[in-house]
Structure 1
């Protein structure tokens, strides 16, 4: 089974448990709307790729870890789209959760996805109890404070922001969790994989800033111009489009160089290069 099929299967299992008998029907429907169909699933695929490079001796735990990371990412998107932040009407090419189901239910959907992510990890960890505590701490730290994605979002409420620190927390933290948790799920040393996740996460945020400026809404499935409209930190606005593309190239190269020697090194390098190239706005791909 390839990585994408494993991710989709684990997500389906997690949501089927969550939306069982007794669950309010519209909540169950809205939760599925937030998760399916997904985007590139880059974070969970990265998690599984690292687990594979480390031997993948516990595929059930790796699948649950990958799904938990994607569920947390989806939760952050639901909250990020809400009127108190971006007030975005579209996500992944269709109505955002609050636009489709209302603001109160969207808030609950984001909360529910956070809870089910950790439930998924806890269930899978019973077969490898020595790995579950490090995984819970690692993944939990990537979404909370002081340096997780919630803290990263909170920097938007501050008067002064360090762009690199903001990017590392808002996006890099969950990427670092993906690589490190993939290694942990496979019983390997997570620290060897930290730099890959951190550098790739920062690269992906710069890429998102570029897309917000240079892409069309129908190309990326969500509104553009949000950073300028919301006076939000942006590499593309701070460095200019050409400068942001150069920064993306530097960070992507640094991420690829950070991959440890392992049997799956070449495959990981190809995956990262392909993903970054495919997500650039079409008009920039030839120059990238």
Structure 2
């Protein structure tokens, strides 16, 4: 059985679905979120768990034979950054402790494309040295720290670490008012959003594709690396979304000429065969259909 922490969140739920579709038994942990999305209902084992509780975390291994862990659980920063860092670091260390205790085959953990901020190269590839740069958000700062914490914690344990540098993900279950991605607001309103221009854009991946990529990395017979970009592998523009929605956006780019960065996924494709199944038009159509019966 494969354990997905945070498995009722957007990326976790789509990862769980992809793992199920590949024929694996899946257990997901949930803390504050209890509603199981329709595409997982009756298919997945749900464990209520506060990942900061080490004893409760390790007790999962007494109820299930866990072969691999995908650690996607995380919190949202509040006023005190120490509370956020303490909570998410405790959850990560407990997940790593469980991986070592249970002797799982592979431990995949959520990182972020934000670790590349400061690199001028486009696209961003995994072999770029990560720069020392001012980071715009606590979550990005934490995700950058996750990488060495994970790889060093698992060194010599026999557990293979897989750092997932996840791109800009949107789709079913996304926060409609996400501060990291204006696409849900554009699609939900089907009208121009302030500040968006046709030429702006960058990295984007539809959630079912991202979940499938993570599932393939978790279950691949062999991986040649411990770090993988997870996204669609192509740049996008808001103009493409506007065209699919048949709405108008101001032309050009908000900040003048240039291009926006995106993730290269050659390494992911070479090791798993992953190719995204959703283009812009297909993702918009699928999401609009989903929202007819779902709040997010």
Q: TM-score, normalised by structure 2?
A: 0.33
- Larger % of strand: which? 2
